[in-house]
Amino acid sequence: MSDQPVDYHPMWAELGLDLPTHDALLGAVGQLFGDAYLTQENRPQGMDYLNFVMSEVHGLRIKELDDYRKSGGKVFGTFCLYVPEEIIRAAAGWCVGLCAGAEFAYDQVEQIMPRNTCSLIKSFMGFKLAKVCPYIESADLVIGETTCDGKKKAYELLGDMHNVYVMELPQMKRDVDMAMWRDEIRDLMAKVEEVTGNTITAESLKASIKEVNDKRRALQRIAATRAADPAPISGKDALLATQVAFYDDVPRFTQMMNALADELEARVAAGEGVAPKGAKRILITGTPMALPNWKLHDIIEKAGAVVVGEEMCTGSRYYQDLVSEDASTLDEMVSDIAEKYLDINCACFTPNQGRLEDVVRMAKELGADGVIDYSLQFCGLYEMEANAVEKTVRDAGFPVLKITTDYSMEDVGQLATRIEAFLEML
Ligand code: SF4
Ligand code: SF4
């Protein structure tokens, strides 16, 4: 076998990427990853798998998607936790997350949407406009959702450039909302069946529920080890595991994350960790951190603290709840899926008391010394909710720091100063 690295440029060209711009993006992400990740000490060996995934982030996985599509398979791109992966997989579709975590082509983005749009939306739109995201270009259908106003309108713009389907998401969690949400999931099933040409059966849905639950169980095991002092894994590494969960092959990822969890459990038993025992422990809550957004974790951990949990969509909201595996009919399974997904505590819901309870529970369970509330600038939902989070967390006896930022690196020095002062006070 040759040791020569594979040249993926022909595949990227076939997908329609702008090759020079894409090369520049990959170079920048590689640099960022090296600075944030490869400088860490005493990392678990199981992280080698995620290092490999990152080194092939636009390579091997895209090749797998490409091969799958050429053999007749379909790929679905999603932006939000509310789109049930179980439904897609039950029709033999593959699901990839499309949220983007880096500033790119904002000059082009700002020609079609307001400057004061959150980084998450600007980033995915920038990736699309600059033709640098092989995941969106591999998606036969992009499934959006009506979570926040910015996304709703962005999907209309994206719809001019790509095949987009939008799910209507209720904004409350009453019985009437649940009934409407079940109907939305049934409509999604019909759409996924139409695109794939495959019928979803009770058998295929039961299998996909189990498969996706297994993935979440593996992440739950990793999360549970972070309650130990010293923490056996850095917050940055644990965040990477959740970020990769959105687009990696499901059975392979589950197997590798269970192996990582085995190693972390052994580390906990041996009292081995990544930061000295007694290092300040931080829980982060807020807006999701899509790849390659590692900014906040990096600042906190380079200041000597350790992030022990993320109450966010790239964290506990992704894996803490499972779909019941008891159902035997398709209707019961759809109800179970609807129930699990409507239980996610996103700030797009009113009221959203469940999130406040989750933050306090996690801070206690993980032995946090303090909580950092993280909002992306111009995200009205999370910025607004930050006040309730601050009050609830403080009333529960935990110091809290509110941070509003974006994907730029301009405020890193200022954030580091604020975070260091917060850590000293703990
Ligand atoms: S924060 Fe809300 S809108 Fe964003 S991914 Fe999570 S559930 Fe979806
Ligand atoms: S961060 Fe806020 S504004 Fe941006 S997409 Fe998510 S919910 Fe919408």
Does ligand 1 have an atom closer than 6 angstroms to the CB of 313? yes
CA angle 337, 218, 363 (to 5 degrees): 85
Measured in Å, residue 351 CA sits from the centre of ligand 2 at 17
Q: Whole-prediction pTM value?
A: 0.97
209-260: pLDDT as tens digits: 999 999 999 999 999 999 999 999 999 999 999 999 999 999 999 999 999 9
Residue 310 tokens read as 């993320």
Residue 87 within any structural domain of the chain: yes
64-98: pLDDT as tens digits: 999 999 999 999 999 999 999 999 999 999 999 99
Domain count within the chain: 1
Residue 3 within any structural domain of the chain: no
Ligand with the closest atom to the CA of 377: 2
Q: Which domain holds residue 236?
A: 9-425
Residue 123 within any structural domain of the chain: yes
Question: At 166, is the secondary structure helix, strand, or coil?
Answer: strand
Residue 46 within any structural domain of the chain: yes
Measured in Å, residue 345 CA sits from the centre of ligand 1 at 9
Taking Cα atoms as reference points, which of 73, 77, 69 lies closest to residue 166? Answer: 77
Does ligand 1 have an atom closer than 6 angstroms to the CB of 348? yes
Work out whether strand 164-167 and strand 306-311 pair parallel, antiparallel, or are unpaired. unpaired
Ligand with the closest atom to the CA of 97: 1
Residue 4 within any structural domain of the chain: no
DSSP string, 109-158: HTTTS-SSS-HHHHHHHHHHHTT--HHHHH-SEEEEE-SSHHHHHHHHHH
Residue 134 tokens read as 């092989």
Residue 2 within any structural domain of the chain: no
18-74: pLDDT as tens digits: 999 999 999 999 999 999 999 999 999 999 999 999 999 999 999 999 999 999 999
Q: If you take atom 2 of ligand 2, which residue's CA is the nearest one?
A: 379
User: What radius of gyration, in Å, describes the C-alpha atoms of the chain?
Assistant: 21
Q: How far apart are CA 3 and CA 82, in angstroms?
A: 41
Average pLDDT for 347-351: 97
Residue 1 within any structural domain of the chain: no
Ligand with the closest atom to the CA of 114: 2
Does ligand 1 have an atom closer than 6 angstroms to the CB of 344? yes
Residue 145 within any structural domain of the chain: yes
